């Protein structure tokens, strides 16, 4: 770098003001060029007619300055006066009439980047910490910082101590110049004024001193320079010393501040790498910390409005994972984008290198990487580690950007090597992809996996090719698809490109920077706690709970509305609660039930249902807060046609659900049972007043890892396909699948036609890799399809889902007609079962809608309960009698099914009407749903009402029984089909006549009890005799 004299411009290579650039050009000014740059090269990159993104210009500048791809995210483009920054996707248009000037600068600073306890790049446990900056970036940071220092753009305290520090920095600077120029300090001091190396404000202050004072200062600087002349430190060390001293001298040097309007007053937003986002009232030194970067869940930008019309102002909303919100208003779009790009960039550097918060600031290269499942410029060690974590199977590969070249990609491929006694060093003469293919140095084994690397290049026209091969492709996907089918050969080994390992959400690699003073991020989720004595939840005394009306039932629980009573300071409080009572017949699942309670008790989020505790008395009861409007799917079915549920309403509900699941994802907790019936509606919302709806996600219940396949099949399409084949594989991607199905359910009015299919049809749906019918809204359909991708690794993280929902909210969805439950047109070859009715099958009852009321009767083999079938959840459903078995062994279940078939086949006024069946626990639990008759069984009715019943009424009952048996069995059936009586009948012993029974009626009984079957009357004869008795003796009373 050329030495700076007192009048030398602050940015090297500039002969005039930045504003004097030529018309029709875009000029990018650099603080430093790479050492290998041509001697006559200037520090200005000039671009003529065309369009350029800010990121494209940054890449060109990085190449000119020797900055490697891994450090490229630290840089950005600033305006000429350094008052604002451009987002990476800002589009510059170069025209004839105007010129533009931007400055290439390091924007993202990490304090304590050098020295003990320094910030460093994330590394493998066995590796040494890698520095945040390499030498080319340190050179550039030095040039940039020196320019800011001399130009007075740094906030410095010019006290006597501060002035001494500035003069010390000037001495260091002149000593560096002497080292680089191979001159003595005296020579440098004689041709360069020390004033050219100090801040302009200090220079002006020194100029105001007397001649003797100025001379004394100059003499002391000369003496200091001579004393340090024997220092053997090279230029790099002196630059490091200069930067570290300058960092100590500056006040909040790694911080940016923005003026904005808060909800109540003007505020200043502060953003820094070490503390995240904070704010203060304008003019106040007191700061309120809002969040660190990894805690951010969502950032959105929307246009402000005044008096119903849009204005230039922009509202930026930052939402934390705990749903705390910071909403500020910026005066212009440019300032809002500058702020959001800063937060977005810091998030990628500290939390997730492959995520962006909103389309408005998304880096174009990152969008390409997401589309191509490509990693950033991670090192080969992390690529190999990722392949090992994925199973290290032959054909697995990682696509990543080259750490050395902006225009190259690397394929790291897992191969298999056979047994061998030795392994020769790799050569680079193999075909067809030499010299771009090489062996990645990894632990060598006698047999097992090996890892090879292939180089992919990209030219300025956007064509891709493998190094060493002439064939070119239009896209990376085309290249990988072609060689995936044809195969590759490298180092004498055949390479298969079968399965790509894409970047995972918040995946750790050397692209992340671990800040000093911040805890090292966990590299793997904690193991779940399964031991009951390790579970944590608040225990509730069973005596403090009062059970109220039934709200339904699940596969393993009965759900009631209840009251929880508490006492505090001699005062009693009553809290409405929901009681989820574990069915005593499912004790084997109680551990999983309590584990769900333990997990929920340790979580706190406004979109998660509050768990009051667990009661462990006679029954295991989970006590939760009572949610007024109940399950979301029932609400949608009730209100879809009333105009309450608009597209905006549905999007707000979906976004709140995504917030809850994002919170769980950050905690590395898998819910595993996401569906609309698990989403409870706390507040309906009111579009007129601007009040949005409010939902809460309920507990997952018994984990799918302990369920049988029949139950899992019942949960199609909410259960992820990989969990159906292996429930133990339950992981975070399963919730993304469940969210996609729930989103489809929300926009179909709470209906899910596929859930009504037979189990075999549901299995075929998954086996055929089919998709739910695509809604008419293409962007919504694309989001659902991404969530319900059959490859778990391809499903987006919930931060990305929130971002996509934001784009739906800000789109012109109001122009779309409301999506009705039937507004789902089948895709070609994706809905293989024809039209499935949206309405519920009348013969199939959902267990959750059966609300228990009372027990009607109980026998040795089963029981009958009175329930209300209430699919709308508003107590308007019909009353039904539900019969179920006490035990569901294979034989008893078979007999029960036969009984149901017989009843289903009989349709008569004198037979209890068949309503349908209800399955639970997959298809293993079966219940018979019948019409409810308030008077109950005839025997008990007669016992209760005998005194007031006439003989004619009793004969009517007998005649109806005869008529029905006659219809059931037909007149041709022989009498022997009537059940044989007990052994005592052989002795001609019969029951006595009931009290008050007419002699004629008792005679009919005796004829039916004849010991010889042939002597018993047929039902035709019985019907005639009973009818004759009714006509002749109807007025006689017993």
Annotated binding site for ATP: 884
SS3 657: helix
Please give the span between the terminal C-alpha atoms of the chain, in angstroms, as a whole number: 124
DSSP result, 952-1012: HHHHHHHHHHHHHHHHHH-TTS-GGGSPP--GGGGGT--PPPPTT--HHHHHHHHHHT-SS
41: which 2 tokens? 């090269």
Q: Are 501 and 390 in contact (CB under 8 A)?
A: yes
Tally helices (H) and strands (E) across the chain.
Answer: 25, 40
- In what side-by-side order are the strands of the sheet with 878-885? 844-845, 914-920, 925-931, 878-885, 862-869, 850-858
d(CA 468, CA 483): 14
CB-side neighbour CA atoms (13 Å) of 134: 12
Contact 457, 407 (CB under 8 A): yes
Q: Are 431 and 489 in contact (CB under 8 A)?
A: yes
The Cβ of residue 970 has, within 10 Å, a number of other Cβ atoms equal to 10
64-78 burial: b if 16+ Cβ within 10 Å, else e: bbbbbbbbbbbbbbb
Element (H, E) at 559: strand 557-568
Which candidate, 756, 758, 765, 825, places its Cα nearest to that of 790?
Answer: 765
DSSP-assigned letters across all residues of 820-857: PTT-EEPPTTT-TT----SSPPTTEE-GGGEEEEEEEE
Tokens matching residue 938: 């005839």
Number of Cα atoms under 13 Å in the Cβ half of residue 893? 9
Of the candidates 909, 849, 856, 912, the residue with the CA atom closest to the CA atom of residue 884 = 856
Distance CA 29, CA 31 (A): 7
Binding residues: 884
CB-based burial of residue 915 (10 Å sphere; 0-12 exposed, 13-18 middle, 19+ buried)?
Answer: buried
C-alpha torsion sign, points 597, 598, 601, 602: negative
Cβ contact 556:702 at 8 Å: yes
What is the full DSSP assignment across 883-919? EEES---HHHHHHHHHHHHHHHH---TTSPPEEEEEE
Of 643, 657, 740, whose CA–CA distance to 685 is shortest?
643
DSSP per position, 403-453 = SS-TTEEEEEEEEEE---S--PPP-S--TTTTTT-EEPP----SSEEEEEE
In angstroms, rounded to a whole number, what is the distance separating the alpha carbons of residues 480 and 486? Answer: 10
DSSP H helices, 82-234, are: 135-151, 160-181, 185-191, 200-207, 211-227
CA distances from 621 to 503, 612, 817 (A): 42, 11, 45
Give yes or no for a contact between 468 and 436, defined as CB atoms under 8 angstroms apart: yes
Contacts made by residues 526-531, CB under 8 angstroms, sequence distance 24+: 526/668, 528/595, 529/595, 529/598, 530/591, 530/595
The conformation of residue 676, written as its DSSP 8-state character, comes to: G
Q: In 3D, which of 765, 887, 883, 924 has the Cα closest to residue 831?
A: 765
Q: What is the DSSP letter of 694?
A: E
**How far is the C-alpha of 1026 from the C-alpha of 722, rounded, in Å?**
65
């Amino acid at each position: 770098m050329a030495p700076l004299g007192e009048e030398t411009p602050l940015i090297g290579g500039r002969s005039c003001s930045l504003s004097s650039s030529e018309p029709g050009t875009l000029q990018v000014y650099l603080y430093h060029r790479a050492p290998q740059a041509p001697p006559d090269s200037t520090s200005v990159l000039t671009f003529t007619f065309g369009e350029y993104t800010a990121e494209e210009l940054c890449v060109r500048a990085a190449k000119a300055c020797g900055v490697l791809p891994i450090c490229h995210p630290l840089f950005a483009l600033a305006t000429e006066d350094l008052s604002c920054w451009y987002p990476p996707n800002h589009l510059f248009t170069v025209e004839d009439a105007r010129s533009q000037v931007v400055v290439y600068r390091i924007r993202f600073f990490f304090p304590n980047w050098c020295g003990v306890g320094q910030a460093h790049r994330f590394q493998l446990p066995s590796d040494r910490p890698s520095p945040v900056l390499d030498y080319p970036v340190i050179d550039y940071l030095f040039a940039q910082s020196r320019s800011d220092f001399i130009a007075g753009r740094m906030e410095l305290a010019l006290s006597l101590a501060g002035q001494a520090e500035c003069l010390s920095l000037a001495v260091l600077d002149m000593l560096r110049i002497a080292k680089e120029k191979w001159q003595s300090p005296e020579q440098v001091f004689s041709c360069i004024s020390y004033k050219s190396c100090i801040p302009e404000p200090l220079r002006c202050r020194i100029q105001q001193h007397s001649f003797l004072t100025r001379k004394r200062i100059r003499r002391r600087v000369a003496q200091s320079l001579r004393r340090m002349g024997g220092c053997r430190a090279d230029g790099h060390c002196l630059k490091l010393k200069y930067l570290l001293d300058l960092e100590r001298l500056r006040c909040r040097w790694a911080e940016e501040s923005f003026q904005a309007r808060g909800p109540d007053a003007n505020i200043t937003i502060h953003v820094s790498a070490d503390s995240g986002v904070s704010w203060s009232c304008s003019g106040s030194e007191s700061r309120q910390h809002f969040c660190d970067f990894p805690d951010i869940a969502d950032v959105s930008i929307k246009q402000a409005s005044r008096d119903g019309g849009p204005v230039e102002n922009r509202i930026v909303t930052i939402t934390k994972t705990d749903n705390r919100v910071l909403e500020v208003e910026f005066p212009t779009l440019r300032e809002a984008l500058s702020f959001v790009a800063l937060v977005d960039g810091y998030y990628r550097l500290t939390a997730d290198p492959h995520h962006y918060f909103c389309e408005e600031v998304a880096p174009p290269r990152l969008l390409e990487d997401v589309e191509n499942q490509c990693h950033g410029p991670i090192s080969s060690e992390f690529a190999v580690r990722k392949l090992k974590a994925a199973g290290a199977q032959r054909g697995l590969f990682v696509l990543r950007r080259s750490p050395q070249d902006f225009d190259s990609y690397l394929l790291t491929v897992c191969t298999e090597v056979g047994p061998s006694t030795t392994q020769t060093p790799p050569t680079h003469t193999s075909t067809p992809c030499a010299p771009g293919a090489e062996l990645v140095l990894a632990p060598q084994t006698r047999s097992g996996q090996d890892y090879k690397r292939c180089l992919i290049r990209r030219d300025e026209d956007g064509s891709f090719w493998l190094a060493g091969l002439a064939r070119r492709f239009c896209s990376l996907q085309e290249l990988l698809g072609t060689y995936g089918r044809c195969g590759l050969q490298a180092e004498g080994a055949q390479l298969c490109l079968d399965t790509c390992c894409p970047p995972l959400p918040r995946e750790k690699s050397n692209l992340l920077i671990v800040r000093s003073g911040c805890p090292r991020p966990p590299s793997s989720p904690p193991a779940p706690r399964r031991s009951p004595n390790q579970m944590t939840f608040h225990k509730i005394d069973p005596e403090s709970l009062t059970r109220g009306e039934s709200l339904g039932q699940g596969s393993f629980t009965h759900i009631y509305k209840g009251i929880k009573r508490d006492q505090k300071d001699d005062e009693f409080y009553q809290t409405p609660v929901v009681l989820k009572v574990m069915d005593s017949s499912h004790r084997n699942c109680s551990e999983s039930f309590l584990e769900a309670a333990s997990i929920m008790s340790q979580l706190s989020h406004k979109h998660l249902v509050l768990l009051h505790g667990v009661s462990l008395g006679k029954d295991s009861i989970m006590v939760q807060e009572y949610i007024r409007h109940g399950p979301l799917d029932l609400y949608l079915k009730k209100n879809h046609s009333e105009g309450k549920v608009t597209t905006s309403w549905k999007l707000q509900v979906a976004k709140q659900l995504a917030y809850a699941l994002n919170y769980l994802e950050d905690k590395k907790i898998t819910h595993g049972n996401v569906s609309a019936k698990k989403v409870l509606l706390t507040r309906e919302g009111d579009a007129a007043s601007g009040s949005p709806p409010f939902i809460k996600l309920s507990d997952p219940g018994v984990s799918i890892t302990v369920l049988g396949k029949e139950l899992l099949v019942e949960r199609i399409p909410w259960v992820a396909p990989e969990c159906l084949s292996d429930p133990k594989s339950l992981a975070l991607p399963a919730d993304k699948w469940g969210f996609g199905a729930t989103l489809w359910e929300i926009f179909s009015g709470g209906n899910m036609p596929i859930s009504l299919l037979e189990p075999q049809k549901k299995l075929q749906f998954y086996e055929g890799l089919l998709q739910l019918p695509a809604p008419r809204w293409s962007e919504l359909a694309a989001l659902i399809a991404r969530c319900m991708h059959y490859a778990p690794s391809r499903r987006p993280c919930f931060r990305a889902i929130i971002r996509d929902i934001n784009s739906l909210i800000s789109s012109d969805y109001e122009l779309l007609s409301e999506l009705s439950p039937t507004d789902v047109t089948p895709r070609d070859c994706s809905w293989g079962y024809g039209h499935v009715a949206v309405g519920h099958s009348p013969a199939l009852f959902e267990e959750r809608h059966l609300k228990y009321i009372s027990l009607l009767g109980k026998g040795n083999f089963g029981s009958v309960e009175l329930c209300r079938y209430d699919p709308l959840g508003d107590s308007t459903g019909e009353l039904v009698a539900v019969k179920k078995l006490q035990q569901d062994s294979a034989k008893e279940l078979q007999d029960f099914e036969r009984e149901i078939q017989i009843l289903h086949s009989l349709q008569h006024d004198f037979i209890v009407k068949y309503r349908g069946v209800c399955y639970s626990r997959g298809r293993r639990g079966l219940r018979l749903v019948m019409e409810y008759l308030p008077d109950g069984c005839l025997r008990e009715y007669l016992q209760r009402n005998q005194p007031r019943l006439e003989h004619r009424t009793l004969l009517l009952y007998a005649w109806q029984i005869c008529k029905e048996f006659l219809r059931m069995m037909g007149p041709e059936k022989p009498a022997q089909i009537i059940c044989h009586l007990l052994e005592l009948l052989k002795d001609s012993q019969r029951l006595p006549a009931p009290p008050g029974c007419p002699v004629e009626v008792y005679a009919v009984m005796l004829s039916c009890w004849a010991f010889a079957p042939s002597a018993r009357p047929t039902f035709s004869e019985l019907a005639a005799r009973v009818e004759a008795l009714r006509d002749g003796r109807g007025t006689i009373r017993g």
